[in-house]
Amino acid sequence: MGLKQSNLLKRGMDLLLTVSALILLSPVLLGLCVLVRWRLGSPVLFRQVRPGLHERPITLYKFRTMTEERDADGKLLPDRQRLTPLGRMLRNTSLDELPELINVLKGDLSLVGPRPLLTHYLPWYRQHERLRHTVKPGLTGWAQIHGRNYLPWSKRLAMDVWYAENWSLVLDLKILLKTVITVLRRKGVAADTDVVETDLALERGSDAEDTDGNLPYKREINPNNEGNCRILERRGEVAVEMTISERSGFDISRGGHD
């Protein structure tokens, strides 16, 4: 079977299973909409731009799990301070990700594929790791059934690349089945991902080399009020500050976690 035919079958399976899931889960989705609106207010959905197929930006939908509380300077408080008991429950059960079925219907996501990570990670992937973007990102994936947030970045991204190079419909069905088991067991899920998951940009930025292979420099990444991260590059006595979107050519959405 050719690649085009396989992709058509994969898309057909996505649509069949997604429409069926939306019909079966419609009472749950409606109930969660009411609950989130009551406890957290409006908007009910959290929207965030993340890289999709071939690193093109897509808007990801999730149920809100955090408040919009800010400090005296108007900056958002850390995630762990804004995460509510309801949000923790939604994350622990993966119910916060149900609105991503809309992304599957739109064709932004597949049911199975590498998870779409934060946009500001794009400059920090190694060349081979960029192969994860040669397939459509997914609601679940090979890494999600092998440790999810508890995997170190190098292993997690290697699993994404392995999937991109070896995917098949049989493998997708296997991953979907194991995902159901994993979710029911609540295995590998961290409600507060900051506790178990480092920021890839910060992890790799401390000893990165510049894009031309010059001497290492330090990058300090901090979100400003608009959520656009800024990089402070230090080369000896010289410091240059720029946004990551200015450096990489991509728009950056406000921080958030898988």
In this predicted model, what pLDDT tens digit does every residue of 67-110 receive, in sequence order?
988 988 889 888 888 999 999 999 988 899 999 999 999 999 99
Q: Tell me: the pLDDT tens digits for 1-11?
A: 677 888 999 99
Stronger pLDDT, 226 or 13, i.e. the higher one = 13
Mean pLDDT of the chain: 80
pLDDT of residue 194: 59
Low-confidence winner among 24-33, 156-165, 180-189, 223-232 (lowest mean pLDDT): 223-232
Low-confidence winner among 76-85, 102-111, 117-126, 168-177 (lowest mean pLDDT): 76-85
Residues near 153 by Cβ (< 8 Å), separated by ≥ 6?
Answer: 198, 200, 203, 204
Distance CA 151, CA 156 (A): 6
pLDDT of residue 196: 61
Closest by Cα among 66, 102, 108 to 84: 66
Tokens of 12: 């057909």
Domain edges within the chain: 3-196, 200-248
Distance CA 66, CA 161 (A): 31
Checking if the pLDDT of 27 tops 50, the result is yes
Q: What pTM was computed for the model?
A: 0.76
Distance CA 110, CA 140 (A): 9
Tokens of 51: 């890289």
Distance CA 46, CA 254 (A): 11
Checking if the pLDDT of 219 tops 60, the result is no
Measured in degrees and rounded to the nearest 5, phi and psi for residue 138 equal -130, 165
Q: Tell me: the pLDDT tens digits for 197-206?
A: 788 888 887 6
Distance CA 68, CA 119 (A): 21
How confident is residue 141, by pLDDT bands cut at 50, 70 and 90? Answer: very high
pLDDT of residue 5: 83
